[in-house]
Chains A and B, each alone.
Chain A
Amino acid sequence: MTRTITIDPITRIEGHARISLQLNESGMVEHAYFHTTQYRGFEKFCEGRPYYEMPALMARSCGICPVAHLIAGAKACDEILAVKIPYTAMVLRRLMNYAQIIQSHALCFFYLSSPDFIFGFDGDPATRNIAGLAAKNPELALDGIRLRQFGQQIIELLGGKRIHPAWIVAGGVSEPLTAAHREQIRSKLPEIKEIALRTLATFKPILNSFPAEIETFGNFPSLFMGLVDDKGQLEHYDGKLRVVDSIGNVITHGLASTQYAEIIAEAVEPWTFMKFPFYKPMGYPAGMYRVGPAARLNVVTRCGTPLADAELDEFRATCGAPALSAYHNHWARLIEILFCVERLERKLAEDQVLDKHVRAGAAPNSLEGIGVAEAPRGTIIHHYFVDDQGVMKGANMIIATGHNNLAMNRSILQVARSFVDGERLNEGMLNRVEAVIRAYDPCLSCSTHAAGKMPIRIDLLTHRRELLCSLVR
């Protein structure tokens, strides 16, 4: 008899979702579905509003990576104004994006995922969380809190507020950086760099002590996409889209991000509110590609900063180039934190960072604008249409987690086939199914334009799709 297992809610992820696993007649997992269960409607209810509200409004699709939406939204608005923003404004936006990547990666790594590494995937679910971590390993928990706090403090110093700062605006940013705030940030950088290096040293050995998970957590060939600068280096704010295949060949080389529609289209499936973007030249679903920390390290030639480049060499030697297992996102996140700290050091040292001219003024000059940026979890695209008064006529958003949708579905199937035995279910098996989703750090809040509920449930279905039982623990 076939059955379906439901995991609902999926916990320690950033969004609402459930997973169903369908078993075949011999109790083996046949199909796996990742259902995102929330829908919000930003692409529609923005219509009729002025374009300049968009960065702050669209940022409300996500409280975890609002800065990435502020940036993509503001870049789309820069295009509507048809202006080149002041150099300093661009640098300041970048600084805020580095801060956001640090805080969001710290959230994913320490608060959500590290309990699995510290307590094991079969650990007691009652303590396998940040409170358990704080009790068992307070230094580690405090390092995580500290890193996240540092990122949030930079956002607050620049934008006046930690979450949803209305500071990144059409044409630039609303206020310059003060010398005092620059010093405040710079004075903390040495400590933060030490934490980043310490965390890498602690975690590399642990990360590699889960061979079965590395082997099965979304470990399969796929394409990878991310932004790169003109030298092919790691880039989070601007740059061109690069796509590599599963053996590392560059198949889309430096496409202007405003031409994304040449390579990306979206499909819909009836059982989830999250759409399925795919790489057009290869069709659906063969054009499965991944974005995010490991994907970015897979597409770049180098990171472009000394410490991160040294780590990248080790990452490639250990995980392969490209690294195919989604599990390696955890390591990639730590390397990106280090990269962001190095970039903050370098950018804050520039004299121009204090320049007072940080905003270009103009009226709408173009009826369309596209903004692309790298969020912590991958590339996001905002595409706006306005009338000649600058009133929104429509929008499309393709968000990091959406890009990974095909791969996340494939990943839970791979993990479930390896670990879930329909006859002898246990908690650890199902936690691994959730953990593979966690490795992608999906932000389901933005991916449905966006909604957010953290929960997920696993349904066990028969081969006739009858509900056999729902797993709740």
Chain B
Amino acid sequence: MRKLKLATVWLDGCSGCHMSLLDTDERIVTLLQHVDIVYSPLVDAKVFPDDVDIALIEGAVSTDEDVVKLKKVRSRTKILIALGDCAVTGNVPAMRNTCGAGPCLNRAYKELAELHPQIPSESLPRLLDKVIPIHETVAVDLHIPGCPPPADAIFHALYELVLRKQPDVKHLTRFGR
């Protein structure tokens, strides 16, 4: 069987979901026999390739750059997976919505800085007014909840896809787990 092309993308998350992927331990070596990681924080590719089979998306959508990136990923990916509660519901980053981007920025960069208090904006992404889960921006093919999803759930999903089957991870994870 042809090796599948796997991408992993980190939006506004804590990287815990990526760490849970690595928590598959030795099984990662098994996975690598069936998939090539073509784009990920773990490899050096700088451009998202045209023909990706599976993309795991960690984190919520929180800046204008995230929106552009996510749309590009969607248009170049067959199976797009929302990995973890931040991607699925907005979770922790969406807690920012209770106060809004402005007050959050003020707090960190004006109230809590002794020198040059100012809000950084030069050549930086613009924060969205509301942090949103990824399905509010693009269509999602599979949701894997959890904070982070257990390594078993991630492995099961990927391995079923390698076998060209439709994964069902309900028995392996739940929100917050």
With known contacts A41-B108, A43-B112, A47-B99, A268–B118 Cβ distance under 8 A: yes
Does any Cβ of B come within 8 Å of A319's Cβ? no
A268 touches B115 (CB 8 A): yes
Stretch of B38-46, B73-81, B137-145, B162-170 with 4 or more beta carbons under 8 angstroms from chain A: B38-46
Map CB proximity to A onto B49-66 as digits: 1 under 8 Å, 0 otherwise: 000000000010011010
Map CB proximity to A onto B29-45 as digits: 1 under 8 Å, 0 otherwise: 10010001100111111
- Listed by A's residue number, 12 A-B pairs whose Cβ atoms lie within 8 Å are A13-B41, A15-B15, A40-B62, A44-B108, A112-B42, A134-B32, A266-B113, A270-B122, A275-B108, A275-B113, A454-B40, A455-B41
B120 touches A271 (CB 8 A): yes
> Which listed residue, A66, A272, A449, touches B16 by the CB 8 Å rule?
A66
Q: Tell which of A449, A454, A459, A472 has the most Cβ of chain B within 10 Å.
A: A454
> Which listed residue, A15, A266, A269, touches B114 by the CB 8 Å rule?
A266
Map CB proximity to B onto A445-473 as digits: 1 under 8 Å, 0 otherwise: 11001111111010100000000000111
Chain A contact residues, majority secondary structure: loop
Does any Cβ of B come within 8 Å of A364's Cβ? no
A44 touches B99 (CB 8 A): yes
> Which listed residue, B17, B23, B43, B148, touches A12 by the CB 8 Å rule?
B43
Map CB proximity to B onto A11-38 as digits: 1 under 8 Å, 0 otherwise: 1111110001000000000000001011
B10 touches A453 (CB 8 A): yes
A270 touches B121 (CB 8 A): yes
B122 touches A63 (CB 8 A): no
Q: Which of A230-282 contact B (CB under 8 A)?
A: 265-273, 275, 278
> Which listed residue, B63, B148, B177, touches A63 by the CB 8 Å rule?
B148
With known contacts A125-B44, A134-B32, A270-B122, A40–B12 Cβ distance under 8 A: yes
Shortest Cβ gap from A32 to chain B (Å): 14
With known contacts A45-B98, A145-B26, A445–B15 Cβ distance under 8 A: yes
Q: Tell which of A142, A267, A453 has the most Cβ of chain B within 10 Å.
A: A453
Interface size on B, residues (CB 8 A): 64
Does any Cβ of B come within 8 Å of A148's Cβ? yes
Interface size on A, residues (CB 8 A): 76
B124 touches A473 (CB 8 A): no
Shortest Cβ gap from B36 to chain A (Å): 8
B16 touches A270 (CB 8 A): no
B46 touches A472 (CB 8 A): yes
Bound form: Cα–Cα A466–B92 in Å:
37
With known contacts A66-B16, A129-B43, A273-B124, A267–B114 Cβ distance under 8 A: yes
Residues of B within 8 A of A40 (CB): 12, 62, 93, 96
Does any Cβ of B come within 8 Å of A111's Cβ? yes
Bound form: Cα–Cα A394–B15 in Å:
25
Bound form: Cα–Cα A8–B125 in Å:
13
Bound form: Cα–Cα A457–B28 in Å:
28
